[in-house]
Amino acid sequence: MQIATARQAANLVAPLFSDAAEEKLVVLLLDDWQRQLAIEEHDAAGPGAVDLPLRAIFKRALALNATGLVIAHNHPSGDLTPSEADIQATRRLAATAEALGIRLHDHLIFAAGECASFRALGLL
């Protein structure tokens, strides 16, 4: 199945956050045609921001020859607003991905049954 929109990615990963009381990170790895290669879950506990384990994310992406990715994390507080630390971590991830020939399609935040897209917010 092709994951061509933020809504499609959100629908795919939303169930992984439905019972999450703690912050967690999901990475959706995609091929050249934006088809799902894998979904990886990571602990995302960081002070006020998602902790992006760049080495682990890119080790798996390179092993699968992924050319795209979507990351998602939740805010158990219920606030969809990306923190400044979320924004900075996402920019580092996007720059690293670009250097490796991988496109960061989006970063999604889930909170209180809603989803926010960094791309739709103009943050990517």
| Sequence spans of domains, the chain | 6-117
Beta-strand ranges (E) seen in the chain are: 24-30, 36-43, 68-74, 103-111, 114-117
Non-local (6+) Cβ contacts of 83 within 8 A are 48, 49
Please compute the mean of the pLDDT values over residues 78-87 and round it to a whole number: 91
- Between CA 50 and CA 67 the distance in angstroms is 23
Please compute the mean of the pLDDT values over residues 96-105 and round it to a whole number: 96
The pTM for the full model equals 0.91
**Mean pLDDT rounded to a whole number for the chain:** 90
Q: Judge whether residue 78 has pLDDT over 60.
A: yes
Q: Specify the CATH class of 6-117 in words.
A: alpha beta
Q: Judge whether residue 90 has pLDDT over 90.
A: yes
Please, which pLDDT band fits residue 102 given cuts at 50, 70 and 90? very high
